[in-house]
Structure 1
Amino acid sequence: MLQSRIRPPPRANPTSTVPTPDLDNNSEEIDESPEDIFGAYLAHLLPDDAPSFHGDPGQHLLYSSPRYGDLDIMVPSYPDSNANRSDAARRLFAHFVWSAGLVVAEGVELADQAQSKSIWAMEGETVLELGAGAAVPSLICALAKAKAVTATDHPSSPALTGAMAFNIKYNLSNRNPPLNGNVSMQPHQWGVLDDEFSIQNKGSFTRIIAADCFWMREQHGNLARTMQWFLSPGGRIFIVAGFHTGRPIVAGFLETVLEYGFVIETIYERDLFETTKDGAEIRREWMPHREGEVDRSRWCVIAVLKRE
């Protein structure tokens, strides 16, 4: 199950509130608390009440990948020196790991495992992740043999104060061979395209990922402009969004990108918490409005965009 891929790590010291696992040392006896086990399966037990995000600021989480092994994911947090940040900066919500990012990571991983021509196949692609936060999709794209990966977030994002760099270095430098050389991180403010990074990389990315980046309506145009600027000819944009901020906001963004010259190549809704008996995704038709919807937290929309 998707949600059980990420959880607090097994703890040798159950009293630690922010455990930092030593994934290279298996000599200690591991103690998984009942709270950790229950938390990992909460989405399965109570799917309609399960959160769309995971972790607490500064916490380490364990992403268990059947293909790439365990990844230590640090959740971004605001440094104490920045405790008085403006509300606008706090609305970035980088200090969580979002389920939409896990959807991307799982899709990329399964495509790599099957060596398939799935829409999620990233081998040889140049990838840009927008609003990356902890950058889990970027890590998985690098492991799936993307040619180059750039993880970006707003210049004021807490992700850029250490967590993103830790996640890239810790999880990719220790590989054999090391993979961190093809992954970089950059601050980027959507719609601001006159900085050095934007000028040097116009039209450079064959794949752009945006997972749960859509809750600020006033930024929809800026986000679409950024996508338009960086996407290479023939490239694709992957949109994944939960409905925790409401269906109209997601529908509004999809309307906006059409105004910027994109077309929707693929779109559907996916159940985040349940699969069929043989493990396949449960899908349904995308609808911008569902009358009387009571279970929206268990669904997300997945869309693939291309240029007209």
Structure 2
Amino acid sequence: MLHSRIRPLPRRSKPQPDNSRREPDVYPAADSLKAEAAEEEEVEEEVEDLFASFLPHLLPDDAPSFHGDPGQLLQYVSPLYGNLEILVPSYPGQSDSRNEEIAAGQRAPGDDKPSPIEAGRRLFAHFLWSAALVVAEGVENAAAKKSGNGMWDVDGQTVLELGAGAGLPSIISALSGASKVAITDHPSSPALAGTIECNIARNIPTEKQPIVSVQPHEWGVLDDGFSQAHRGAFSRIIAADCLWMPEQHENLVRTALWFLPEDPSKGRVWVVAGFHTGRAIVAAFFETAARLGLAVESIYERDVNASSDEEVRRDWTPAREGEGVHNRGRWCVVAILKRATCT
């Protein structure tokens, strides 16, 4: 099962005040109780994490669309590259005090626009999304020659990830032989505050790190230095769970077209998205993509909760009778797009 590749690592207890200067043996019982309480708290959190990891087995139609908590360290179990440690980005204004978090995210009186912190949280970079696992597994299987059609092969390819968050697909791409990897997210994304760099340092060998760069990029804004220097430069573009904002569909497509090579045979866009925001939003993206100049090379739906070693697929459809919040979670759409050719 795809979700079994992700395991929560034990959470560390919060640092306790330094009591080394007090007289020894004054309050041994209190110290003992504190230690026991800290251990119980950590055990409870570990049990909660383990329970969450088994939810796809207990509720097969209700697969999680994301994994981890903001700031949590997860283990990605990779048959090819060993166990990787992936830090989930914290979110803007994150604090141990709930009141501080609320205050940080509030708008100024009379301001109709979201605060910078609220806008940053709306990017939802502070999770590891299941769509990222689909891409990472596909790239890794292709590198291990388990993928028959080579659709996920990145060997020698230049890879761009949009809305990367923790950057797992990019990390797997770098390990799988990509010649160049650019990891991007919105300029206000919390992932750019050191999380992606941390994940690179933890998981990519030093000698391979020079091929990886981390760049801020706002979809549709193509006059920045990174965009101007890399037009047509990426043969593989990853968009994993990037479709939840319909108002950004056009900008996402324009960004993809900008970075794809002009030759339609040289570049592909991998679009993977769950239906947690509703199938209609996902379907609307493909309509926008076709209107602006992207063509669907292949598209299908994948069961992310299937226990089989082989992918369980079904045909893609823009509308599915009887689908609702109770049964759409275990499916995602997987699409390969390319530049449309004039006929």
Fold match (TM-score > 0.5): yes
User: Alpha carbons of 1:86 and 1:37: their partners in 2 closer, same or farther (altered >3 Å)?
Assistant: closer
Are 2:130 and 1:99 aligned?
yes
* Mapping 1:1-308, distance limit 5 Å: 1-9=1-9, 11=10, 16=13, 33-80=46-93, 83-84=104-105, 85-114=116-145, 118-172=150-204, 175=205, 178-232=207-261, 233=263, 234-276=266-308, 279-294=309-324, 295-308=327-340
SS in structure 1 of the partner of residue 312 of structure 2: strand
User: Alpha carbons of 1:251 and 1:134: their partners in 2 closer, same or farther (altered >3 Å)?
Assistant: same
Deviates more, 1:282-291 or 1:76-85: 76-85
Mapped to 2, the partners of 1:218 and 1:79 lie a distance apart of 22
Q: Which 5+ residue runs of structure 2 have no aligned equivalent?
A: 16-42, 95-100, 106-115
Q: CA deviation at 1:46?
A: 1.0
Q: Which has the higher strand share?
A: 1
- Cα deviation digits, residues 201-248 of structure 1 (max 9, x gap): 000000000000011111011111000100112200000000000000
Mapped to 2, the partners of 1:48 and 1:306 lie a distance apart of 32
Q: What RMSD, in angstroms, separates the aligned Cα atoms of the two structures?
A: 2.0
Could you say which residue in structure 1 is the equivalent of 2:98?
A: none
Q: CA deviation at 1:34?
A: 4.1
Q: TM-score, normalised by structure 2?
A: 0.80
Could you say which residue in structure 1 is the equivalent of 2:38?
A: none
SS in structure 1 of the partner of residue 13 of structure 2: coil
- Cα deviation digits, residues 31-80 of structure 1 (max 9, x gap): 99544433322212212223200011111111110110111111101354
Mapped to 2, the partners of 1:78 and 1:35 lie a distance apart of 21
Deviates more, 1:186-195 or 1:36-45: 36-45
SS in structure 2 of the partner of residue 289 of structure 1: coil
Q: Which 5+ residue runs of structure 1 have no aligned equivalent?
A: 19-30
Aligned partners of 2:63 and 2:304 also within 8 Å: no
Aligned length: 288
Aligned partners of 1:7 and 1:39 also within 8 Å: no
Aligned partners of 2:92 and 2:117 also within 8 Å: no
Q: What amino acid sits opposite 2:125 in the alignment?
A: A
Q: What amino acid sits opposite 1:223 in the alignment?
A: L
User: Alpha carbons of 1:17 and 1:285: their partners in 2 closer, same or farther (altered >3 Å)?
Assistant: farther
